Amino acid sequence: MLTHLAVAIVDGADCLSDLASLKLQEQLFGPVASVPTTWRALQATSSEELRQIPKAIAEARARVWAAAPPGDSLVLDVDATFVTAHSDKQDAASTYKAGFGFHPLGVWRDTTSEPLAAMLRPGNAGANDAEDHLELLDQALAALPAGYQVGHEPGDDPGAVVHPILVRADSAGATHGFVNGLVEANREFSIGYPSDKRVREGLLLAQEEEWVPAVEADKRRRQGAWVIELSALVDLSSWPKGTRLVCRRERPHPGAQLSLFDTGEGFRHTCFITSSTRADVATLEC
């Protein structure tokens, strides 16, 4: 397989799937392994080299960031998506949205959309798998310059943090395992939170004058949208100390799918939990 890879590279290959050019000429090259088999062989024979890849990326990123500093703090976005497979490829599986394929998970740096890490997962991988989320963040952290990693290992002294890291995710990240893992590694969080029964009860207790106008990124008021903090109205005792709950209500756009509660209230409600101490909830929500 290594010989075939070398021949393919000489012939212009730049990815494993280019082995197909050799497979079409087996009379010349002999039996050529499939792409999945070749990939497994590379993993088995190159484990040490694979472990060096994040270090090499971190060193390269350190040079780039030295020329264009990203700022003192980092915002990392975690998200997953579905990728459709049109045949029974390795690890392809049915998804909870009635599709078939893969369910990869990725981490990006917010301000530049710079990809930091990715994990290929089968289609039936759980959307809220805390272990996958934490493992991927560890990979992303390993690919950061050394100075940005200081203080962000589990059990590190919070005072050792040089560059604060804020991790954002949708409601798939709203698991105790994921949030607790972030707190243990001194990483702040803003995670989407479902509008469950407790949230709805809190909204019914909220006073109208406590809602403040939502804002856009340019500080302009967002028309038809308001923000409120529900931390005092919803029991958050099962989450890390200091966790806050923020909610936005807005006029639903045409065709929006609303819950019965939202239909009755006439607004679409979206919530998130956060460890941020920012006092201005409108800017925090933005």
Length of the chain: 286
pLDDT of residue 245: 97
**CA distances from residue 127 to 86, 134, 195, 252 in whole angstroms, order as listed:** 21, 13, 17, 26
Is 42 exposed, middle or buried (CB count within 10 Å of its CB: 0-12, 13-18, 19+)? Answer: middle
pLDDT of residue 277: 92
Please, what are the domains in the chain? 70-186 (3.30.420), 194-286 (no CATH)
Structure pTM? 0.81
pLDDT of residue 199: 95
User: Quick one: tokens of 234?
Assistant: 């919803």
Task: Tell me the mean pLDDT per 10 residues along the chain, length 286.
Answer: 90 89 90 89 78 89 91 93 88 90 94 90 92 94 93 94 96 96 96 94 94 94 95 96 96 85 90 94 93
